[in-house]
Each structure stands twice: as structure tokens, then as C-alpha cells.
Chains A and B, each alone.
Chain A
Amino acid sequence: MRRVAILGAAQTRFEACKASLAYNELVYGVVREVLDRTGVPMREIESMVTASQDAYDGKTISGMAINEVVGAYLKSEAKVAADGLQALLYGVARILSGEFDLTLVVAHCKESEGDPAAITGLMFDPFVQRPLHLDELTAAALQARRYCRKKGLAPEDVALVSVKAHRQALKNPYAQRAGMFSVSDVLASPLLADPIHELEAAPRSDGACALLLASEARARAHTDRPVFIIGIGNCTDAYWTERDLAEARALQEAARRAYAMAGIREPAREIHVAEISARYAHEELMAIEALGLHPNLVELIAQERAACINPSGGPLCGNPPTVSGLLRAIEAYAQLSGEAGARQIEGARTALAHGAGGICGQNQTVVILQRE
């Protein structure tokens, strides 16, 4: 069986508005960095998968607007209009097919350019939901309350996720928002949509990231200590108003598939570091539970081991939709290759990256990475 490794990765610094760079310039920057780091020349990369959203780019077939900077000229390129971790999934499949030895995976988004409420509002049913002016934030707030009620969580429990995220982000030079906030600071930040406070929601963000996938043979020629992708699971749930929002069935199923492929039986013990795509604080708690990373989430968040969950700070510290999921894999790879700098978790050998898309996480992807 062919195996797929990660050769190298890069990300921009995330900022609320990168006004001096167009999105193709952001993408060129991260692709250039991946090639410089790995020493792989562009002419050797035969295939690319990109992730972007037409609505955020303000033009359709947005993948074609970056084809020149991802080096896709007269090569095989495909775009996913979904979370970036799905682009990784397709990139892995391309290599497993035997057709390609190298595949570049790229995601970008400049949330500053369009109106996020109007753009996320387009996800909703136009007949019975859009007349009520719904957006991603409103749906997330409805989910947050439903979940907290069902689990008996207090606002302080959810705020702890934000406290931890922003504290960890102090060690992440790419983070947009970081700080030593207290639970009361979080709960005193403006209510965006009750019960979600400003510090409990991912801030509007601009940035891009890229990662280079390789076949095992190609990776071995390149490094003595490759990081392999050993498990992938993806799963889609029912529309958000047709399922219990307090449950994360699709994520449980995606995790089950990824763990089975990776041979992981006890995730709480075997996963050393996890990067979770929580755009809202409560989503991190839901994910920890669904991924089986700890039996008692609040206890986990409160204790030291919480540093192993989103050591980068995660999306709460700023990274845009579409980029979030791929960036989780890039952060997981940084941990396993020992390149995570001040946010390094010592001795991490197996890592998990999580990506989500759709309203209230309708689509879920889990990727397991392992250092040899």
C-alpha cells in the first residue's frame, strides 16, 4: 500500500485585514516558502488541490484566479469549495492513486473583503431561513445554547476554552489575537449573539497556507524522519435544523473512520496533540468529546494537558474559514516535525487535525498524522 507523507508547509501571519496584498500574492508567498523550505522545484510538482470559496473571493471559479501562483500552468489542478482539510483529503487520494508523487495543497481566504454575515447567509435555505437574516454566527449561537443546556455547561466553562486559546496563542507568531484573558474578561467582551461573546468567536481574518504532500518513496529521498498521514475520515450530517445540534454525530463517525485506518484504539492516550477547527468556543468542547480525547471536557480544559489541544491557539486566535482546516494539519505537522517553536509539545509522535464546514459543522474531516 502506498503511503503519503508531508514534505513541508507554510502559513502567513494572520491579520484582520491584509490590505497591501491581494489573495494571489498571499498564496504566492506561502507556496514560495514551501518550495524554499523543501528545496523542491515547482517543475517537479505535478498536481495541486486548492481550497477557496467563490463568495469570499467575490468571483466564481475562484481556483482559476490563483492557478498561476500555485504553479498549475498545464498541470492537473482541482479546487474544493469547502474546508481546506478536504483539499488535503483529495491531495492524499491523488498520491494514493499512483498517478502523482507530489501534490501541493493550498488554501486562502480574505474575510476582510466581503461582508461575512452576507456571505455566510448564502449558506442558508432561501425559502424558510434566509428571510430571517440568518448567518453562521446566529446558527452557532443556537447550537451553543442547545449544547450547553444538554451538557449542563455554565458560561464560565465555555469561556475557559477562549482563555486557554488566547494564552496558547501568545506562543504562536502567526496568531492574530492572543493575550492573558481571564474568564471574566471573556464574559465581559461584547455579546455577538447570546451566548457567544466576541472572544468566543473566531475574529474576521485574512491569510493563506500551503502544504506539500509526497509519496513515501519521494519522502524518504527527502528526509530521514518523514511525517505520514496514517488515517483520514470524512462524514456529512443532516441539515442543521434536521438534527440535534447538541450532538456531533458526523464528527464521531469521521473520527471512527480515521482511527480505524490509523489503528488507534484509545485516542485519549494515543493522540499526543490535536488541532481542532473550532470557530466558536463551544465547538472545541463538542469536538474534544466527539473525538474521544478526554472523558471530562471541562476538567481537561482546566488542567495542564489542555495545552495538547490547539497549542497554536486554533481558529479563535484568528484564521479564516477554508484556511482553518488545512492550517490544523500544518500545525499538527509542525508539532511532529519539531518545528513548532515556542508552542512545541515535547515528544509528540501522533497528532490529529480536524476540519469542519457547513452550518454548525455539517461536514467533518479528521486526519491522523504520525512521525516515524
Chain B
Amino acid sequence: MSEWIVRQKIRIPFQYTTGRALTRFLTGLAECRIWATRCAECARVYVPPRSFCGRCWREITEWRELPAEGEVMSYTVRPADPPLILGLIRLDGADTALVHRLGEVEPEELERVVRVRAVWREDRTGSILDIAYFAPVR
């Protein structure tokens, strides 16, 4: 049996177009504001915002601002140094979840964490990482 391997790396520079809804969301983050959209038919509030409601198959045009605070629906800890903690966060007033890092908390305290609040970066650029992490509301 012969074993021979050719090693390569696939690199594709990419520039993704954000589109109407995410442009407002991402530029809003630079101003420490969280923008959501609301479907006029099912009243579902999407954050990150969607331009279309898949459930109702219709365009969404209504905007609303949400507080940068909400509830942890789930979390996971990935082994690293320090451990990487990721949470599934439902902001108050939203029907969808935002994934983000959880900070100012030790892995063993996570079971008791219910509510979290966004901690903003100083140097914001219009990116999801303008939120440094979500911290427990104590």
C-alpha cells in the first residue's frame, strides 16, 4: 500500500455584500444600538434583522430598537486557554437568538447566569465584534 499526500491550502478572498437589513444592524452596532425587524403578519421580531419573514414569506419593513440585554437560552464552553464561552442569547423583545461570547464569568458559574448585557468595545467598526461579549447582570 502506498500513501502519498499533497498538501495545499484553499484561500479565496471574499467581500460579502451585507444587504439592507444587516447594513442597518452592523452600522447600528458602531453606535451601540441594536436594530431588529418585525414581521407585520406574525409579529416575530428578528435580531439580527431579516428583510424577509420565512414563516410568512413576506417582506419585512418595520424596524425597532432592542435593549442590549436579554436571557441566556444556552451556552457552551470550548476548551482553550482561557476557555471560550459562547452563549445563545435572546434579547428582550426578540423572537430569535444572537450567538456571542460570554465574559466576566467563570465556566462553573454559568448554570446560575440567566440575564446578560452587552459590553461594548471602545473602538467600534460596524461589526458583531463591536460587542466585546455579554456579561451577567448581577
Using CB atoms and an 8 Å cutoff, list the residues of chain A in contact with chain B: 19-20, 58, 125-129, 131-134, 138, 141-143, 145-146, 149, 190-196, 238, 241-242, 245
Interface 0/1 of B1-41, CB less than 8 Å to A: 11101001010001010100010011000000000000000
Nearest-CB distance from B17 to chain A (Å)?
10
A128 touches B74 (CB 8 A): no
A127 touches B79 (CB 8 A): no
Nearest-CB distance from B66 to chain A (Å)?
14
A58 touches B8 (CB 8 A): yes
B18 touches A127 (CB 8 A): yes
Residues of A within 8 A of B75 (CB): 142, 145
User: Which residues 20-74 of B sit at the A interface, judged by CB distance below 8 A?
Assistant: 22, 25-26, 46, 48, 50, 54-55, 73-74
Residues of A within 8 A of B25 (CB): 128
In the bound complex, what is the Cα–Cα distance between A129 and B77 (angstroms)?
16
Q: Which of A128, A143, A196 is within 8 Å of B98, CB to CB?
A: A128
A128 touches B79 (CB 8 A): no
In the bound complex, what is the Cα–Cα distance between A192 and B86 (angstroms)?
13
A19 touches B48 (CB 8 A): no
B128 touches A146 (CB 8 A): no
Residues of B within 8 A of A131 (CB): 127-129
In the bound complex, what is the Cα–Cα distance between A149 and B75 (angstroms)?
11
B78 touches A245 (CB 8 A): no
Chain A CB count within 10 A is highest, among B22, B73, B95, for B73
In the bound complex, what is the Cα–Cα distance between A142 and B55 (angstroms)?
23
12 sample A-B contacts, Cβ–Cβ < 8 Å, listed by A number: A58-B10, A126-B16, A127-B16, A127-B18, A132-B86, A132-B101, A134-B86, A146-B74, A149-B74, A193-B78, A238-B54, A245-B88
Residues of A within 8 A of B103 (CB): none
B97 touches A241 (CB 8 A): yes
Given contacts A58-B10, A127-B18, A241-B88, contact A134 B74 (CB under 8 A): no
B5 touches A19 (CB 8 A): yes
Residues of B within 8 A of A191 (CB): 77, 79
In the bound complex, what is the Cα–Cα distance between A359 and B79 (angstroms)?
21
Residue B99 lies at the interface, judged by CB distance under 8 Å to chain A:
yes
Residues of A within 8 A of B18 (CB): 127
Chain A CB count within 10 A is highest, among B18, B95, B97, B101, for B97
Q: Which of A126, A129, A143, A238 is within 8 Å of B74, CB to CB?
A: A143
B48 touches A142 (CB 8 A): no
B2 touches A128 (CB 8 A): no
New contact pairs (7) apart from A128-B48, A142-B76, CB-CB < 8 Å: A132-B101, A132-B128, A134-B99, A142-B99, A191-B79, A193-B78, A238-B55
User: Which residues 88-108 of B sit at the A interface, judged by CB distance below 8 A?
Assistant: 88, 95-101, 107
In the bound complex, what is the Cα–Cα distance between A143 and B3 (angstroms)?
39
B76 touches A129 (CB 8 A): no
B127 touches A129 (CB 8 A): no
Given contacts A127-B48, A127-B128, A191-B79, contact A245 B74 (CB under 8 A): yes
Residues of B within 8 A of A126 (CB): 14, 16
Residues of A within 8 A of B50 (CB): 242
Chain A CB count within 10 A is highest, among B22, B99, B128, for B99
Residues of A within 8 A of B26 (CB): 127
Residues of A within 8 A of B46 (CB): 242
In the bound complex, what is the Cα–Cα distance between A190 and B129 (angstroms)?
29
B86 touches A194 (CB 8 A): no
Residues of A within 8 A of B96 (CB): 241-242
Chain B CB count within 10 A is highest, among A133, A143, A242, for A242
In the bound complex, what is the Cα–Cα distance between A146 and B87 (angstroms)?
11
Given contacts A128-B22, A129-B99, A134-B86, contact A142 B78 (CB under 8 A): no
In the bound complex, what is the Cα–Cα distance between A195 and B76 (angstroms)?
7
Nearest-CB distance from B42 to chain A (Å)?
12
In the bound complex, what is the Cα–Cα distance between A145 and B48 (angstroms)?
22
Nearest-CB distance from B77 to chain A (Å)?
4
Given contacts A127-B16, A132-B128, A245-B88, contact A142 B107 (CB under 8 A): no
Task: Give the nearest-CB partner of B87 in chain A.
Answer: A142
Task: Give the nearest-CB partner of B128 in chain A.
Answer: A128
Residues of B within 8 A of A129 (CB): 99, 128
Task: Give the nearest-CB partner of B5 in chain A.
Answer: A19
Nearest-CB distance from A129 to chain B (Å)?
6
Nearest-CB distance from A55 to chain B (Å)?
9
